[in-house]
Amino acid sequence: MKNIIKIIPILLVLLIALSISACGGSADVAEETGGSPFKAADLVGKWKGTGDEISTITFGKNGSYKDDAGFAVVEGTYTADEEAGTITVNEKDYGLVFVYSVELSGKKLTIQTENGLPRTFTKK
């Protein structure tokens, strides 16, 4: 029973992430913004959600990833492809993989899965 209670918040975050990636948007962030390049080193740090985005995302220098929505946390690793303008997140508990287009401008970060809604953040 305790294991089920621990899994419920994780499942809720995954459900939200999958719902967002299945909704709206026919063009990804890179296409909308002209695909401006980003430097992977500029991702490192904490990013607080803006607007409807409730998560705080942390990109570690060592490739660690943490998406903390308060009621649930998703952890794993990420790799950045500067040339393609994408990051790939590998969630550790269930083996889910998310590929996000990236738009990084100063302290503003926007990530978006294919056909998903953009998620926006500012650097803390």
Tokens matching residue 114: 């294919």
What are the pLDDT digits (tens) for 13-35? 444 444 444 444 434 444 444 44
**SS3 readout for the chain:** CHHHHHHHHHHHHHHHHHHHHHCCCCCCHHHHHCCCCCCHHHHCEEEEECCCCCCEEEECCCCEEEEECCCCEEEEEEEEECCCCEEEEEECCCCCEEEEEEEEECCEEEEEECCCCCEEEEEC
Residues 76-117 pLDDT 10s: 999 999 999 999 999 999 999 999 999 999 999 999 999 999
Architecture of domain 2-123: Beta Barrel (2.40)
Task: Specify which residues 82 forms β-bridges with.
Answer: none
The reply to whether the predicted model has a pTM over 0.75 is: no
